[in-house]
Amino acid sequence: MKVTVDQDKCCGAGTCVLLEPAVFDQRDEDGIVVLLDPAPDEKLWPTVREAATVCPAAAISVTEDE
């Protein structure tokens, strides 16, 4: 799995951080998403997928390894 974020789309809702703080964080000054791990461990994949699905701004993209 490869994770990317589009900080320009991010609205700072923070749902991704609540779901998977090992992969996502937020900037202190404006709450915009910060990607901590673009290739998370397989055990984190379900919550990373959920974070991408529930992101209100669709700022998180997940690409599955083949």
pLDDT in tens, 13-64: 999 999 999 999 999 999 999 999 999 999 999 999 999 999 999 999 999 9
Contact (Cβ atoms closer than 8 angstroms) between residue 24 and residue 36: yes
Supply the pLDDT for residue 66. Answer: 58
Specify the fold of 2-63.
Answer: Alpha-Beta Plaits (3.30.70)
Give the per-residue pLDDT at 44: 98
For residues 46 and 16, the answer to whether their CB atoms sit within 8 Å is no
Question: Would you state the pLDDT for residue 65?
Answer: 76
Measured from the Cβ of residue 12, the count of other Cβ atoms closer than 10 Å reads: 14
Which amino acid is residue 24, in one-letter code? F
Contacts 24+ apart (CB under 8 A), 21-25: 23/48, 23/51, 24/51, 24/60
pLDDT at 61: 98
Q: What is the pLDDT of residue 14?
A: 97
d(CA 23, CA 51): 10
